[in-house]
Amino acid sequence: MTLVRLIGLAAVCTHATLAAAQVTSFDDVEYWVGEGANRAALVIDWSEFEGEGDPLVWGYRWDGVATGRQMLIDVITADERLYGKLTPGDVLVLGLGYDRHEPASFAISDGSTFDQSGLTHAGTNNDFNAAATDPGDAYAEGWDDDFWHYATRADGFDSPWVSSQQPMGLRTLTDGVVDGWTFTQFVKDQRDYVTYPDPASPALPPAVPLLGDYNADGSVDAADYTVWRDGGSPAGPIHSDYLLWRDNYLPATGSPAGAPSSASPAPEPLAALLLMLAGVCTAGARLFSSRQLGTTS
């Protein structure tokens, strides 16, 4: 797992994954991937049944030419919580997953290993019955009776959904389109297997981690100084990591014993060391003087 996919991990644990409002326009999208003058949206719904899939929306920007496959893979790569199982060559979608808790902990029950981009690959002749090992995470996979249905909106969120007439690798994106993936469970002769995403909430970017929060508890306090002192900060007990802690130090009421008080600045390690040495030297001088004079105090 690379630093790109791990960044913000601690903050994600306490950061809300879903927003309350539903996306009705590109202005409602909060998590954007890529750069460029063109924009599209990606919607993923983990269940065709209304109210069960908790669908999410990501935005995508690009210049030049881009395909539906490129958008899906770029979004999976960018969002450390999103995972995909594709066929070799990234031709077909077999499974999609979303970690609603800790990105680095996502796993599925068949033991598939996801690469640093959040992808794993399998053939279409496999048994597709894997589930997320954490019941709170979203994951669905299939190919025959159960499968991911690919649909599009040609002109923003107000236009109707239609089934894509092209595989994602051959579909060229245009400015303002919306791509949707819905997990569909086909029941023969009972209903139409074509389903479209429900109204979706915007996926939120991971919260930015606090600089100096070395124990990842959401605050920068005396406990982080202890972590730094004991060598537990990213670069170890060096002055640059100390400065990150000092500059972001926000003492709170009820800090642990020994923490700097809110009325005083964060301690400088060099100053503290000099004071300690001065105290030792003073005590030594007094002892030496007493012995020379033949007295004790």
278 belongs to a structural domain: yes
Based on the fold, state whether residues 16 and 156 are members of the same structural domain: yes
Query: Are 106 and 71 spatial neighbours (Cβ–Cβ below 8 Å)?
Result: no
| CA atoms within 13 Å, Cβ hemisphere of 167 | 9
pLDDT for the residue numbered 283: 47
Confidence band for 218, pLDDT divided at 50, 70 and 90: confident
260 within a domain of the structure (yes/no): yes
Same domain for 125 and 220? no
pLDDT of 166 reads 93
91 & 173 share domain: yes
- What local confidence, expressed as pLDDT, does residue 269 receive? 56
3 vs 219, more confident: 219
Average pLDDT over residues 267-292: 49
From 148, 179, 202, give the residue that closes a domain. 202
pLDDT digits (tens, 9 = 90+) for 12-51: 433 444 445 899 999 999 999 999 999 999 999 999 887 7
Mean pLDDT of 242-251: 80
Residue 4 — very low, low, confident or very high, per pLDDT cuts 50/70/90?
A: very low
Kindly state whether residue 13 falls inside one of the protein's structural domains.
Answer: yes
The residue written with tokens 């306490």 in the block is: 14
Confidence of residue 77 (pLDDT cuts 50, 70, 90): very high
Of all residues in the chain, the percent with pLDDT exceeding 70 is 73
Domain count, the chain: 3
Q: Are residues 106 and 240 in the same domain?
A: no
- What value does the mean pLDDT take over residues 138-164? 94
Q: Say what the pLDDT of residue 266 is.
A: 53
The reply to whether 207 falls in a domain is: no
Asked whether residue 83 is assigned to any structural domain, the reply reads yes
Structural contact between residues 173 and 40, judged by C-beta atoms closer than 8 angstroms: yes
Residue 257 falls inside a structural domain: yes
- Specify whether 182 is located in the same domain as 275: no
Span 261-282, average pLDDT: 50
Q: Domain check: are 61 and 99 in the same one?
A: yes
Identify the three-state secondary structure at position 43. Answer: strand
Q: Decide: 179 and 41 in contact? Cβ < 8 Å.
A: yes
Question: For position 193, what pLDDT does the model report?
Answer: 62
Same domain, 284 and 247: no
Residues 25 and 167 sit within 8 Å (Cβ to Cβ): no
| Residue that wins the pLDDT comparison between 172 and 252 | 172
Residues 272 and 232 in one domain: no
Read off the pLDDT band of 249 (50, 70, 90).
confident
In a domain, 259, yes or no: yes
pLDDT tens digits, residue range 88-134? 999 999 999 999 887 668 999 999 999 999 999 999 888 888 999 99
Residue 182 lies in a domain: yes
Distance separating alpha carbons of residues 82 and 98, to the nearest angstrom: 5
If you ran DSSP here, which 8-state letter would residue 159 be given? S
Supply the range of the domain harboring residue 249: 212-264
Q: Does one domain contain both 171 and 48?
A: yes
Is the pLDDT at 291 greater than 50? The verdict is: no
Average pLDDT in the 156-175 region? 95
Do 224 and 192 fall into the same domain? no
Say if residue 53's pLDDT is above 70. Answer: yes
154 and 286 belong to one structural domain:
no
Q: What is the pTM of this model?
A: 0.68
User: Among 156-160, 208-212, 214-218, 287-291, which is the least confidently predicted range?
Assistant: 287-291
Q: Tell me, yes or no, whether 82 and 187 share the same domain.
A: yes
